[in-house]
Amino acid sequence: MAGALLDIRDLTGNRGAGSQGFTLQIEALTLHQGEAVGIIGPSGCGKSTLLDLVGLVLRPQQAGCFRLGSHDIAALWQQDKQSALAAVRAQHIGYVLQTGGLLPFLSVRDNIRLSCDLLGLPRNSQHEQQLIKVLGLGRLLDNKPAALSIGERQRVAIARALAHKPRLILADEPTASLDPAHSVRVMELLLHIARALSVGILVVSHDWDLLSRFEVRPVQAQMAESGLTCFSDLAYRQGGQNE
C-alpha cells in the first residue's frame, strides 16, 4: 500500500513441529508512521510469533509482500541476506518486552543508551534527554534495574526502545505485569511518545479494553482447529477495495 511504513500481504510462518507446531498467516497488515495497531487474541494464538516475523527474528515460509519503509524484506529473506536483515532490525526496530528486558548489570542510563552505543550513535543527545524528561526517569539514571519498580522498568524499556530513533516499535504485552492504574499510564506514555515521533507501533495484548481507550486499530487473531492462526487487517482490505 502506497505510503505505508509496514506493508505485509500473504505471509506465512511456522513455529514448532508435530502436535506442538502451528502455522500463522498474515493475509494483510499495514501500518503508517505515527499509527498504532493492536494485535489482539487469546493466549497461545501466535501474537508473539507475529512480532517475531515482523521483527525479522523468525524467517517466513513465504511472503507475497513484506516491506518495511524502502526495504523489501521478502527479497532479503529470499536471498538470505542475513547481514542486511540484521542491519534493518538494529536500525529501524525497537522492542518493548513484557518484563522490560533490561540488562541487570547496567544502570538505567546505560540501558537507555545500549542501542545507540551498538549503532555508534552519539550519547546524551537532545533526543535522549527529552525521552528521559517525558518518561520521568531523571532521578533513576544511576540505579540498576533491581532497584526499580515494575512500572519504572517499563518506562526505561520504552526509553531504550525509542532512543535510537527507530521507525517501528514492537511491544509484546508491555503492561501485562502492571496493575490497572500503571497499565494505563505506561500505555499512555508509550503511544503518546511514539505518535509524537511519527513512529509506527504494533502492540500485542489480550486487553482490548485498555487499548481501545487510545484509538488503537485492532487486528484480531482468527484461529482454526487445523492449527492455523490468521491475522487480517480489515482496514487494508477495505482500503484496497476503495482504491
Q: What is the pLDDT of residues 114-167, one digit of tens each?
A: 999 999 988 878 999 999 999 999 999 999 999 999 999 999 999 999 999 999
Residue 235 placed within a domain: yes
**DSSP codes of every residue in 128-195:** HHHHHHHTT-GGGTT--GGGS-HHHHHHHHHHHHHHT--SEEEEESTTTTS-HHHHHHHHHHHHHHHH
H or E segment at 86? Answer: helix 82-92
Cell numbers for 134, please give them. 517525558
Q: Which of 43, 222, 143, 167 is nearest to 155 (CA)?
A: 143
Q: Please give the pLDDT value at position 129.
A: 94
Report the Cα–Cα distance between both ends of the chain, in Å, rounded: 10
CA dist 171 and 186 (Å) reads: 12
Q: Which residues of the chain have pLDDT under 50?
A: 241-243
How many domains are there within the chain?
A: 1
Domain containing 50: what range?
6-242
What 3-state DSSP class applies to 78?
A: helix
H or E segment at 208? Answer: helix 208-211
CATH number for position 210: 3.40.50.300
Question: pTM (2 decimals)?
Answer: 0.90
Residue 1 placed within a domain: no
